[in-house]
Structure 1
Amino acid sequence: MLAPQEAPVYNHVDMLCRIVLDGRDTDGAFALVEERAALGAMTPRHVHTREAETFIVLDGALEAWSEGRSTLVEAGSLIYLPPGRAHAFRVASASARYYTLITPSGFESFFRDSGVLVTEPFTGDLPIPGPVPPDGVAKLQQILDPLGCTITGPPPFTG
């Protein structure tokens, strides 16, 4: 058992995250990442070849985009994104707190490998989101390559 407050906290593309359950804890069945972010934090469009992601929104709202369709996912709701489908998401409320369930596990290493370890608590101030610079996208893709995930374009969101 690991209490979430004992997990290291990372700033991953201006989202705070902590790995609550690593695949090593679940015999590779799944991983669970808890995340918090401010309005406007978002991911580029990308495709996973292996794992599905399920976003479970606890507070606030996310806008999920998959294959050209956007869906608002508010607190108490979830969205399942299977492998092989281009997708992205952004925080669509002042802030949001959500779990990302990764099945099967393995992709949780991306948060550790691309994030910056922070000393502030997970419940502390949120990073101010900004666009990922082109050299940052290239670095992310280098980390994603061995995980079978490809960035397919910039975030698909407007406004």
Structure 2
Amino acid sequence: MDIARALRPGAGDSVAIPGFGATFKLESRDSGTVAVVEHPFAVGTITAPHRHTREDEHSFVLEGEIGFRSDDTEVVLGPGGFITKPRGQMHAMWNAADRPGRILEVIAPGGFETYFRDLAELLASVTPPPGTALHETSEFADLASRYGLTYGNPEWLDDIVARYGLTPPNH
């Protein structure tokens, strides 16, 4: 990147993903190395537990209270809180409060940020057959595979959903 980059609050391309969107602050195609993505968390939202094989994620809480579980580590952080979720660990994030929250996530190395664009497109274009969840479709499996991503149902998920009154993830 040869020039300074500045974005005003709220600026950046965005995609809508139910309960959890993505606003692109810096993409790896521009930086050459990392991506920075802002994620809003609606009340009651938890991300589907997942594992990255190619990148680490570093999250800063901007507002609200966001819970993080990465393998055996669980923490709820408020504004200014920070956590690293290393590749290879099963993790999820959730809104732990009764008001919206937001995080800023640094993804290194970059490249994974395009997953959010592709996921938003998939959500808008694929209607699973009756009785089938999106995560059970071949299109979803192909998308996750392209990004070296695996989803799981760890033993801690139901407990977190119950303790925080969350809507279970649909992945």
Task: Identify whether the pair has TM-score above 0.5, normalized to the shorter chain.
Answer: yes
Structure ID, larger Rg: 2
1:96, distance to aligned residue in structure 2 (A): 0.5
Aligned equivalents of 1:21, 1:109: Cα separation in 2: 11
Hey, what does 1:112 align to over in structure 2?
117
1:140, distance to aligned residue in structure 2 (A): 3.9
Aligned equivalents of 1:16, 1:83: Cα separation in 2: 21
Where in structure 2 are the equivalents of 1:1-159 lying within 5 Å? Answer: 1=5, 3=7, 5-27=10-32, 29-93=33-97, 94-115=99-120, 135-138=133-136, 139-153=139-153, 156=157, 157-159=160-162
Aligned equivalents of 1:141, 1:105: Cα separation in 2: 21
SS at match of 1:99: strand
Aligned equivalents of 1:47, 1:77: Cα separation in 2: 22
Hey, what does 2:166 align to over in structure 1?
none
SS at match of 1:115: helix
Aligned equivalents of 1:45, 1:23: Cα separation in 2: 24
Aligned equivalents of 2:84, 2:42: Cα separation in 1: 22
Aligned equivalents of 2:135, 2:6: Cα separation in 1: 32
Structure number with higher helix proportion:
2
1:6, distance to aligned residue in structure 2 (A): 4.6
Query: Which residues of structure 1 form unaligned runs of 5+?
Result: 117-132
TM-score (norm 2): 0.75
CA RMSD of aligned residues (A): 2.1
One-letter code of the match for 2:85? L
Aligned equivalents of 2:113, 2:38: Cα separation in 1: 11
Q: Which has the higher contact order (CA 8 A, sep 6+)?
A: 1
Hey, what does 1:122 align to over in structure 2?
none
- Number of residue pairs matched by the alignment: 142
Aligned equivalents of 1:112, 1:57: Cα separation in 2: 22
Aligned equivalents of 2:132, 2:61: Cα separation in 1: 29
SS at match of 1:15: coil
TM-score (norm 1): 0.80
Residue-by-residue CA offset, 1:99-151 (whole Å, 9 max, x unaligned): 111000011011111125xxxxxxxxxxxxxxxx9522235443121111100
Q: Which aligned runs of 4 or more in structure 1 are off by greater than 4 angstroms?
A: none
Identity of aligned residues (%): 27
